[in-house]
Amino acid sequence: MKKNITIVGAGLAGSLCALYLTKRGHNVSIFERRNDLRSEIITAGKSINLALSERGLTALKKVGVEAEVMNIAIAMDKRIMHDEKGNLTEQLYGNDGQAIYSVSRAQLNVLMMKLAAKNGADLYFNEKCIDANLEDASVIFENTNTNQKQTVKSDLIIGADGAFSAVRKQMVEQYDHDFDYNKIDHDYKELHIPAGKNGSFLLDKNALHIWPRGEFMLIALANLDGSFTCTLFAPKKGEKSFEGLNSEIEVENYFSAIFPDFLNLVPDLYKQWIANPTSGLGIIKTFPWHIKDTAVLIGDSAHATVPFYGQGMNASLEDCRMLDELLDKHGEDLKSCFSEYSITRKPNGDGLQDLSMQNFIVMRDNTADPTFLLQKEIEKKFSNLYPEKWIPLYSMVSFTNIPYADAWKIGMKQEKMMEEIMKIKNIEKEWESDVIMNKMCSLV
């Protein structure tokens, strides 16, 4: 039966969900707190970049919009690590042709909103959700320009309003749902490498660039206009933290000592440093993700995570696909559909968060470690010989739709096994021999 559905939040999850639901023939209205981004000029490089990978692409493909998204994406088939002297090391992410994709969050969001509207969704902007009666499926919005309030009554509320979700707040306050917000000790700041002459790229555009430095790191992803959007992740306090980076000289000294090749690419570093905010990062856990058959959470509102696996958006898009599959399974029985969604999806939200925290250590620390890089080479060789026995963790997460919870469990088992392998005497010389491959076969 055709339903009237209110989606709160026109971000990536909200817009994709609208596409899925309008394709099912429902009347969908999206209410968004911000201005209409579609009417603003989005210049590449002025928004954060996201790494889009297989799960996100699978969810886009299912509603037929993958090709349009690929038009604004840049393939990254490898990491390139920059050491303190500016030397580069490459590590392919997977096998030939396997890549993740750099997309501008704003450009992708505009595209997704346009596609949702084209498919029949109604979009309302400057409408902030301030309250909701979740069992009655009614939401109160306040217009951010006029302060005028309106109550919107429908059959179903979808909370797609991000990490600080107002819909989730009502679930937690009115229904005593579990809630936990864990801020990490690191903040981040966006920086920007401009394009070179005639829009040329000053670094390899088909790579995710990392400057791994133990407790902190800098990353850069390419934009279509030749520039790169970069993010510095560093501790809030202590040695070499944001705390000590206030004056121009402090910032210049920090970058020239730690990221010298980066400094050469950014002529107006200090101007950017003071103009761009320093923002926090955290993990949000909540449960359940629904109320009866009248309200459900998707995306960051249900499982916001730290960005180190580049999976927050991918998981949010995957939520929409999973919900769509469960709508097929349960038909009109929305209560069972949402209940199964909450129960089956929550462990994957947890898995995503565990993976994200673990990959912070991999990126900032391990990618600069030759033993880690060797371990990854061994895993790759074994996986190519015995693909049915071993998919490397990064590939499970980024190049398959294996549930996050399963990937996390298998990855931990693999790590234990690799600890044994890496202890073998002369492993750096012997690793390509049959002995090592046979040993791995016996352990797996």
Ligand X SMILES: Cc1cc2nc3c(=O)[nH]c(=O)nc-3n(C[C@H](O)[C@H](O)[C@H](O)COP(=O)(O)OP(=O)(O)OC[C@H]3O[C@@H](n4cnc5c(N)ncnc54)[C@H](O)[C@@H]3O)c2cc1C
Please give the residue ranges that form the binding site for ligand X (CB under 6 A). Answer: 8-14, 31-34, 48, 50-51, 105, 128-129, 160-162, 166, 188, 231, 299-300, 307, 310-314, 316
Least separation in angstroms between CB 370 and ligand X: 26
CB closer to ligand X out of 91 and 316: 316
CB closer to ligand X out of 31 and 289: 31
Least separation in angstroms between CB 4 and ligand X: 18
DSSP calls for 352-386: HHHHHHHHHHHHHTGGG-HHHHHHHHHHHHHHHH-
CA dist., res. 351 & res. 359, Å (int): 12
CA dist., res. 186 & res. 237, Å (int): 8
CB closer to ligand X out of 129 and 269: 129
CB closer to ligand X out of 53 and 375: 53
Q: Which residue is nearest to ligand X (CB)?
A: 11
CA dist., res. 304 & res. 282, Å (int): 7
Token pair 């920007």 is at which residue?
Answer: 192
CB closer to ligand X out of 181 and 386: 181
Are the CB atoms for 249 and 255 separated by under 8 Å? Answer: no
Beta strands in 292-354 (DSSP E): 295-297
Residues 6+ apart with CB under 8 A from 289: 296, 297, 302, 338, 341, 342, 345, 346
CB closer to ligand X out of 188 and 338: 188
Least separation in angstroms between CB 90 and ligand X: 20
Least separation in angstroms between CB 313 and ligand X: 3
Count of beta carbons in the 10 Å neighbourhood of residue 1: 7
Give CA angle at 374 (370, 376), nearest 5°.
120
Count of beta carbons in the 10 Å neighbourhood of residue 386: 13
- In degrees rounded to 5, what are phi and psi of residue 14? -60, -45
CB closer to ligand X out of 162 and 411: 162
Least separation in angstroms between CB 276 and ligand X: 12
Least separation in angstroms between CB 322 and ligand X: 14
Least separation in angstroms between CB 332 and ligand X: 27
